[in-house]
Structure 1
Amino acid sequence: MSQKARVLVGALTRETPYFKQAHGEGITVFEFDEDGGTLSRQYCQTGIDNPSFIAFDATHSHIYVTTEVFGWNEGTLSAYALSADGRLRYINKQVTGGSITTHTGLDRSGSFAFAVNYSHEAWEGFAEEIPGHAMAVFPLQADGGLEPPISMVKHQGQGPVPIRQTCPHPHCAVASPDNRFVIVTDLGTDRIHSYRFRNGRLSVDGAPPPLQLEPGSGPRHFIFAPSGDRAYAINELGGTIAYLGYDAETGAFELRQTVSTLPDGYAELNNCSELQLSPDGRFLYGANRGHNSLARFAVDPQSGRLTPLGQTPTGGEWPRNFTLSPSGRHVLVANQNSDSLTIFRRDEKTGALTQTDSIAIGTPMVVKAYAI
Structure 2
Amino acid sequence: MAGSFSRRGFLSAVGALGVAGATVGCASAAGRSGSGAGAGLPSSAAAHAHEGLMTFIGSYTSSQPAGRGVEIAMRDMNGVLAPSGTLDGVADASFFAWSPDHAFLYVTNEQPQGSITAIDVSTHEPRIINTAPSGGNAPTHLSVHPSGEYVLTAHYGDGTVAVHRRNPDGGIGENTALVQHPGAEPHAHQVLVDPSGKWVVTVDLGADSVFVHAFDAGELTQHQQLALPAGTGPRHLVFKGTTAYLLAELNSTITVLGWDPEAGNLTAGQVISSRAPEAAGENFPAEIAITRDGRFVYATNRGDDTVAVFSVDNGALTFQSATPTGGNWPRHCALDPEETSLFVANQRAGTITRLARDAETGALTPTPDSYACPSVAAITFHG
TM-score by length of structure 2 reads 0.84
- Partners of 2:51 and 2:285 in 1: CA distance: 31
- Could you list the per-position Cα deviations for residues 14-60 of structure 1 after superposition, in whole angstroms to 9, with x for gaps in the alignment? 13xxxxx3421121111212x41211221111211101111111222
Runs of 4 or more, structure 1, over 3 Å off, are: none
1:217 to 232, 257, 261: 232
2:356 to 345, 352, 370: 345
- Partners of 2:51 and 2:262 in 1: CA distance: 40
2:381 to 359, 369, 372: 369
For 2:216, the equivalent position in structure 1 comes to 198
Q: How does 1:4-153 map to 2 (within 5 A)?
A: 4-15=52-63, 21-33=64-76, 35-69=77-111, 72=112, 74-85=113-124, 87-120=125-158, 134-153=160-179
Shift of 1:3: 10
For 2:262, the equivalent position in structure 1 comes to 249
- Partners of 1:343 and 1:3 in 2: CA distance: 19
Q: Report if aligned partners of 1:340, 1:361 keep a CA contact under 8 Å in 2.
A: yes
Shift of 1:113: 0.3
For 1:335, the equivalent position in structure 2 comes to 346
Asked if 1:358 is matched to 2:376, the reply is: no
Shift of 1:265: 4.5
- Give the secondary structure class of the aligned counterpart of 1:52: strand
Q: Which amino acid aligns with 2:211?
A: H
- Give the secondary structure class of the aligned counterpart of 1:152: strand
- Could you list the per-position Cα deviations for residues 244-267 of structure 1 after superposition, in whole angstroms to 9, with x for gaps in the alignment? 000111110111111101122533
Q: Which amino acid aligns with 1:76?
A: S
**Alignment RMSD, CA only?**
1.6
Q: How many residues were matched structurally?
A: 333
- Give the secondary structure class of the aligned counterpart of 2:172: coil
- Partners of 1:83 and 1:40 in 2: CA distance: 21
Shift of 1:229: 0.8
- Give the secondary structure class of the aligned counterpart of 1:41: strand
2:276 to 252, 260, 263: 263
Asked if 1:325 is matched to 2:343, the reply is: no
For 2:251, the equivalent position in structure 1 comes to 238
Q: Which amino acid aligns with 2:78?
A: G
Aligned-residue identity in percent: 35
TM-score by length of structure 1 reads 0.86
For 1:129, the equivalent position in structure 2 comes to none
More displaced stretch, 38-47 vs 179-188 = 38-47
For 1:304, the equivalent position in structure 2 comes to 315
Q: Which amino acid aligns with 1:367?
A: I
Q: Report if aligned partners of 1:113, 1:140 keep a CA contact under 8 Å in 2.
A: yes
Q: Report if aligned partners of 1:53, 1:66 keep a CA contact under 8 Å in 2.
A: yes
Shift of 1:108: 1.4
- Partners of 2:268 and 2:52 in 1: CA distance: 39
Q: Report if aligned partners of 2:299, 2:309 keep a CA contact under 8 Å in 1.
A: yes
- Partners of 2:278 and 2:80 in 1: CA distance: 36
Shift of 1:4: 4.5
- Give the secondary structure class of the aligned counterpart of 1:148: strand
- Partners of 2:149 and 2:157 in 1: CA distance: 26
